[in-house]
Structure 1
Amino acid sequence: MAEIVGVYRHERSENFDEYFKAVGVPYIGRKMMAMSNPRLEIEQNGEKWTIRNVSAMRTNELTFTPGTEYEESMPSGDVVKNVTDVVDGRLVTNSISPNGSRITRTYEFTPEGAILTMTHEASGQVAKRFYKRVVAT
């Protein structure tokens, strides 16, 4: 099984605009996100995990204990409820927005990198982000 903890550089995305359109992100926000090349940083300290997405526009940091509900503030101002679990070497986050829509984010890891798969349950839209591992810890 590949190490999860590390730093990853964004390489490419698939179906990004259509996915975020289905989620309800406005046009300008979708275009800005599509142009970003975020760095993904994943840390573990005991039972606590931190996932950090760093881009020129913003840094989004999530710290959680697997299996425990926590909140995430979205760029829109909405607050979603998340539960993240470690499942077979993957990080799987299930999110519920204030309007009840559900999103699943799955981070899969290889020695070379990571793939983030985002699934919007209501529309069936799926987007992927591919990352290359630049630092393993």
Structure 2
Amino acid sequence: MAQMVGKYIHEKSENLDEYFKAIGVPYIPRKMMIASNPTVEVTTSEDGQWSITITTLFRTVSYKFNLGEEYEEHMPGATIKSITTIEGDKLITQCISPDNTHTTRVYSFSEDGLIISYKHEESGKEAIRHFKRV
């Protein structure tokens, strides 16, 4: 099983613009997010709480959660309800936005890095971001 805890730097993205359009991200924030090279840090605490922190030049977002329990992600303009589970070398996050839109993020870990796959369930649009372990 690959080590999940660690720090990862962005290498490349695939189909991110189409995915962000599908989930309703406005033009300027979408272009800013696409141009960013985020760093992702995954940690766990002794009490079993997980944390995923995403840092860019524009902002830092941190999600803290316990596996299998609902938590909130605060985005500009919306609060999303999420549940994250673990399957092998993957953390899988199911999200429901206030307009009842469903998205899935799959964090796939390997010894070399992390791949985050995004899927907007209603449109079927998908995107992938590749990260290298630091």
Structure 1 residue ranges without an equivalent (≥5): none
Q: Structure 2: which amino acid aligns with 1:64? A: F
Residue of structure 1 in register with 2:64 after alignment: 63
When the two chains are superposed, the root-mean-square deviation of aligned CA atoms in Å is 0.6
Pairing 1:40–2:40 present: yes
Tell me, yes or no, if the aligned pair for 2:72 and 2:79 is still in contact at 8 Å. yes
Alignment map for 1:101-116 (pairs within 5 Å): 101-116=101-116
Structure 2 residue ranges without an equivalent (≥5): none
TM-score (norm 2): 0.98
SS in 2 for 1:130: strand
The runs of at least 4 consecutive aligned structure 1 residues that moved more than 2 Å come to none
Q: Could you list the per-position Cα deviations for residues 17-46 of structure 1 after superposition, in whole angstroms to 9, with x for gaps in the alignment?
A: 000001000111110000100000000113
Pairing 1:50–2:56 present: no
SS in 1 for 2:30: helix
Deviation at 1:73, TM superposition (A): 0.7
TM-score (norm 1): 0.96
Identical pairs, percent: 48
Residue of structure 2 in register with 1:9 after alignment: 9
SS in 1 for 2:67: coil
Question: Within 2, Cα distance between the matches of 1:89 and 1:128?
Answer: 17
Tell me, yes or no, if the aligned pair for 2:89 and 2:110 is still in contact at 8 Å. no
Residue of structure 1 in register with 2:20 after alignment: 20
